[in-house]
Structure 1
Amino acid sequence: MKFKTVNELTDYLYHLPRLHEKSDLTYVKRVLKALGQPQDQVKCCHITGTNGKGSTAYYLSNLLQKAGQQTGLFVSPFIVRFNERIQLNGQAIADEELLEAANRVEEAVDRLRESDPGFALVTFEYEVAMAFDYFARKKCDYAVIEVGIGAEHDKTNVITPAVSLITTIGMDHEQIIGPTLADIAREKSGIIKPGVPVVLGDIPPEVQGIIEDKIRRDASPASWLGRDFQVQVQADGCQLLLGSKEYRLPAWPLAEAKDAAMALAAFSSLPLALSRQQAEAALVQTTVPGRYQLLVKGGKSFLLDGAHNVQAGQQLLPYARRLARERGGRLLVLAAMMKDKDLSDFLALFTEEAVTLTSLPYPRAAKQADFPAWARERFAYEGDLKQALDQLAGRAADRDLVLVTGSFYLVSAALQLLQAGE
C-alpha cells in the first residue's frame, strides 16, 4: 500500500505533471480499463461551463438525493479539504476510502507499467480515476461529474452520460482551449453526445450556431434557458418556469437562480420525479461552498465567492453591492488572483469599491508585480493574506460587508483563517 495518509496522497498528486505533451484521453482511458471500466457502471450527469458548473452540480446532486438516488458528486476545486472533491450523498469521501481508491489506482498504474514502463498519469487523471472507481464500488445510481477544463479534451469526457449540461460560455482558460470564444464553444460542445439530452444556459448569440450544429449532428434533445425554461427574479423571490410547472425560490442572485434552473431542467430529463415542494426544498437546502457564501465572524460580515473571470465578476458585483446597500454600509473588497487570469479586466469591474490586493503561497498566484500598473496605483496591497484579512476586518464597520473574491484558492484560505478556533 503506497499511501497511508491523505497528506501523503495530496503531496504526491500535487507533484505530478498537470498536462501530457499531447492533450488526449489515451492515458485516462487506459487506467480506467485497468480498473474495470468503473465509469460505465454508473449513470452520469456531465456538466461544463465557464461559470456556474459547480453550483449547478451541487443543485443537481441534491435533487437526485431528494429523489432517493444514491448520488456521487465530483467537483473542483475543494474549499477546505481535498476530500470535498469526491462526495457521496452530500458527504465528502472518508479518509480511509479516499486512500483505498488512490491505492487501487496506483496498483492499476503499476500493472500498466509492466508492459509500458513510461506510463504515467497527470494530477487530474488520477483524481478522475479515483472518483469513478469510488462511485462504482458504492453502487451509485447517479454521479454528477463536473469537468476540469473545457469538455471535449477534458479527462472526464470518457462517459456517455444520461444528460449533458453547458451552463455558460465565456472567456476563460483561453491559453488552453481558446484563444477565441468560438474555439471555447467548440471545445465545450464536446460534452454533447449522440441522442443524449443536453441542457443549455447562457450561450452568447455569436456562438449559439456552433452549439446548434453539434446538437443537430448528434440528434440530441436540447433544452435552452430562455427558450424552453425561464428564470424571473423579482424583489421578493425567484420564479423558475419549466414547462407547465412553476417553482418559487428566495431572492437569489440571478446567476444562482439560473444554475438552479439548469439543474432542474436536467433532472426533468431523467426518469425520476419530485413534487414541486420537494424540488423547491432540495434547491433551497443546497449549500454551494465558496459561492455567494455569507459568514459572520467577530461581528463582521463577509461574502466569499470564488469568481475569477469577468463573466463571474459581472454577476457577483451587483449582488454584493445590493447586500451592502441593504445593510446601510460600504462594500470593502479583498482580492487575490492567479496570474494566468485576466487580471486587468476583472479588477476594472471594481469602480466604486475600496480594494485590497493580496497573494497566496502558490506558484500560479499573482504577486504585486503581476498586477497591472493602474491597479497597483489605485488599490492597496498586502502580500500576507492573514494580515490583509485582519486589516480589512479592522477597517470594516458593523454594517459594512467584506467581499473576498478573485480565486477559489483565496476563498479556501480565507475560510480556513476565519473559521480557525471555532
Structure 2
Amino acid sequence: MNYKEACKYILNIPKFGKKSGLENIKILLDLLDNPQKELKFIHVAGTNGKGSVCTMLSYILCEHGYKTGLFTSPHLINMNERIKINNIDIDNEDFINALVQVKNKIEYMVEQGYNHPTFFEVLVAMAFVYYNNNNVEYVILETGLGGRLDSTNIIENPVVSVITSIGYDHIAILGNTIEEIAREKAGIIKHGRPTVLYYDKKEVFNTISIECSNKKSKLYSYNDFNYGILKRTKKNIDFSINNKYYNYNEVYLNTIANYQIINISIALTTVEVLINEGIDLNRKSILQALKKFTWPGRMEYVMDNMLIDGAHNVQGIRMFVKDINNLYKNTELSILYTSLKDKPYKEMISELKKCNNINRMILTQMNSDRATDANLLGEYCKEIGFKDIYTITDIDDAVEYAISLSNEGRMVCCIGSLYLVGYIKSKMKEEAQYD
C-alpha cells in the first residue's frame, strides 16, 4: 500500500462505516492491545476554539521538552495534519504503517460480523498506535463531535478534561438546547479527574458543574478574564491577561484575531491545572511557546489583502465580525462566503450583515453534495439588504475572482467553511509549486 492508496481507503470508509456508540472503537482498540492505555491525555471538547487550545497546549509542552502528540480535526489540505508529534505532521511512511496495523484488525472485525469502523474511528486508532509506537509522553486529544459518544472518549483517565466555548452547532446530533449540547460535551469529564471550563452562558456552567459534582471532578471554571492590548500590528498582538487562576503581564501572539485571546485564557488556565497535577512548567518557557504558536486558517493572511478564517457556525461568525469591525472599520470589504447544508446559513449571513463596511458579497459552493446551493445564499443576501452580490457557483471561478480583487488592492475575507479555507490554501500551495 502506498500513501495515495492509504488515503483512498480512508476516504472510502464513509460508504460502509457505521457508527455504533463507542462499541466499534472499543473492539478495534482491544484487538490492537489498547495502545491508548499506555498514554497520558489532555482531552479537549467544545464548539469553538478547541483546535487552537489543543495546539497552544502542544506548543507549551513541547517547549518544556515533553514529547507531545497532537490529534485534531478536520484537516485543511492533507490527512497527515490530524496526527502530529512535537507539532510535526506524521510522515507518509508512518501514516501507512499505522493504517496497515489498524486495517488488519478491521478485516478481522468484519469477518467476525462486527460493523466496519467509521472514518473518524480509524484515524483515532491510527493516532493511538502511532503515539504508542513512538513513546509519546502526553497526547493533546481533540474530540471530533460532541464528547459523550465521540470516539476519543474511549480514554479512561485524562490528566485533565478541557471544555472550551459552547454554542449551537451540530444540533441535529447534539441537541436543540444549550443544556443538551453542554451535556454531550460534558461526557468527557472523568471520575476524579480535574476539568477546565470557559463559559459565557449560565446554562453551560450549571450543566457542567452538576456533571463534575457527580463525578467528583474538581472544576476550574470562569466566565470572565481581564486583558489589555499593549501593541497590535497587522500580524500580531501583545497583551496582558489574567483571571483568578493566573496573571501574565505580557503575552506575544502571532495572530490578529482577538478571539484567540479567549483561547489563550483557556490554555493558560489548563497550564495551572497541569502544574497542580505535578507537570513541571515554567512561565518563561510558556511565553516562549506562545510566541511560536500558529494555527492555520484562523484570521490568516494568504495574500497582502486576502484573509481566510475558518468560522463555520453562528458563534464563530459573530466573533469574526467583532474582530473585523475593530480592525477594518475604515476599509471596504469583499466577503467570499460558502456554507454546508447542515449549517444555519441564514443566521450566519445575518451575523455577517453586522459588519459595518461590507460592500460586496461573493457566494459560491464547494464541489460536494454537502454544500449549500450558492443561489440560495445569494437570494438570502438580497433578502436581508446586501446590495452588491455576486453568485459564482463554480468554486474555482469564485476564488479566482476573490484573488483578482485582492490583487487590485481590495480587502477580501473568505469565511463560512473550513473546507473553503482548506481549498484556498491548497490552491495557493499548488500555484506556488507551479511558479
After superposition, give the CA deviation of every residue in 1:298-351 in whole Å (9 maximum; x if it has no partner). xx42211110011011111222233334xx532221111111101000011222
**Letter of the structure 2 residue corresponding to residue 63 of structure 1:** I
Superposed displacement of residue 273, structure 1: 3.0
Give the corresponding residue for 1:339.
341
Superposed displacement of residue 55, structure 1: 0.5
Assess if the C-alpha contact under 8 Å between 1:67 and 1:274 holds in 2: yes
Superposed displacement of residue 22, structure 1: 6.1
Q: 1:234 to 1:11 in 2, by over 3 A?
A: same
Whether 1:359 aligns to 2:361 is: no
Which of 30, 45, 64 is residue 42 of structure 2 equivalent to? 45
Per mean C-alpha deviation after superposition, the further-off stretch among 257-266 and 304-313 is 257-266
**Letter of the structure 1 residue corresponding to residue 417 of structure 2:** S
Q: Secondary structure at the match of 2:13?
A: coil
Whether 1:368 aligns to 2:374 is: yes
Gaps of 5+ in 2: 232-237
Which of 63, 72, 76 is residue 73 of structure 2 equivalent to? 76
Assess if the C-alpha contact under 8 Å between 1:329 and 1:399 holds in 2: no
Q: Secondary structure at the match of 1:15?
A: helix
Q: Secondary structure at the match of 1:65?
A: helix
Alpha-carbon distance between aligned partners in 2 of 1:292 and 1:19, rounded to the nearest angstrom = 36
Q: 1:235 to 1:342 in 2, by over 3 A?
A: farther
**Letter of the structure 2 residue corresponding to residue 401 of structure 1:** M
Give the corresponding residue for 1:28.
25
Give the corresponding residue for 1:279.
286
Q: 1:119 to 1:419 in 2, by over 3 A?
A: closer
> 1:405-420 counterparts in 2 under 5 A?
405-420=415-430
Alpha-carbon distance between aligned partners in 2 of 1:203 and 1:244, rounded to the nearest angstrom = 19
Give the corresponding residue for 2:234.
none
Normalized against structure 2, the TM-score is what? 0.89
Give the corresponding residue for 2:150.
154
Superposed displacement of residue 247, structure 1: 4.5
Gaps of 5+ in 1: none
Q: Secondary structure at the match of 2:41?
A: strand
After superposition, give the CA deviation of every residue in 1:46-92 in whole Å (9 maximum; x if it has no partner). 11111000100110110110111100011111112110010110100
Assess if the C-alpha contact under 8 Å between 1:247 and 1:280 holds in 2: no
Which of 212, 216, 222 is residue 215 of structure 1 equivalent to? 212
Superposed displacement of residue 118, structure 1: 4.0
Give the corresponding residue for 2:229.
234
Superposed displacement of residue 399, structure 1: 5.2
Assess if the C-alpha contact under 8 Å between 2:252 and 2:287 holds in 1: no
Superposed displacement of residue 255, structure 1: 1.8
Assess if the C-alpha contact under 8 Å between 2:19 and 2:117 holds in 1: no
Give the corresponding residue for 2:266.
262
Alpha-carbon distance between aligned partners in 1 of 2:411 and 2:251, rounded to the nearest angstrom = 24
**Letter of the structure 1 residue corresponding to residue 381 of structure 2:** A
Which of 310, 314, 326 is residue 314 of structure 2 equivalent to? 310
Assess if the C-alpha contact under 8 Å between 1:231 and 1:258 holds in 2: no
Alpha-carbon distance between aligned partners in 2 of 1:18 and 1:177, rounded to the nearest angstrom = 23
Q: 1:182 to 1:316 in 2, by over 3 A?
A: same
Superposed displacement of residue 250, structure 1: 4.0
Alpha-carbon distance between aligned partners in 2 of 1:154 and 1:337, rounded to the nearest angstrom = 24
After superposition, give the CA deviation of every residue in 1:266-313 in whole Å (9 maximum; x if it has no partner). 1222222333222112112111011121222xxx42211110011011
After superposition, give the CA deviation of every residue in 1:239-273 in whole Å (9 maximum; x if it has no partner). 22253532422475332011112112212222223
Which of 148, 164, 188 is residue 161 of structure 2 equivalent to? 164
Superposed displacement of residue 137, structure 1: 0.6
Give the corresponding residue for 2:301.
294
**Letter of the structure 2 residue corresponding to residue 419 of structure 1:** K
Assess if the C-alpha contact under 8 Å between 2:71 and 2:140 holds in 1: yes
Which of 133, 136, 139 is residue 140 of structure 1 equivalent to? 136
Alpha-carbon distance between aligned partners in 1 of 2:213 and 2:114, rounded to the nearest angstrom = 41
**Letter of the structure 1 residue corresponding to residue 333 of structure 2:** L
Give the corresponding residue for 2:431.
421
* Identity in percent: 30
**Letter of the structure 2 residue corresponding to residue 148 of structure 1:** G
Assess if the C-alpha contact under 8 Å between 1:201 and 1:224 holds in 2: yes
Assess if the C-alpha contact under 8 Å between 1:225 and 1:262 holds in 2: no
Superposed displacement of residue 398, structure 1: 5.8
**Letter of the structure 2 residue corresponding to residue 234 of structure 1:** I
Q: Secondary structure at the match of 2:14?
A: coil
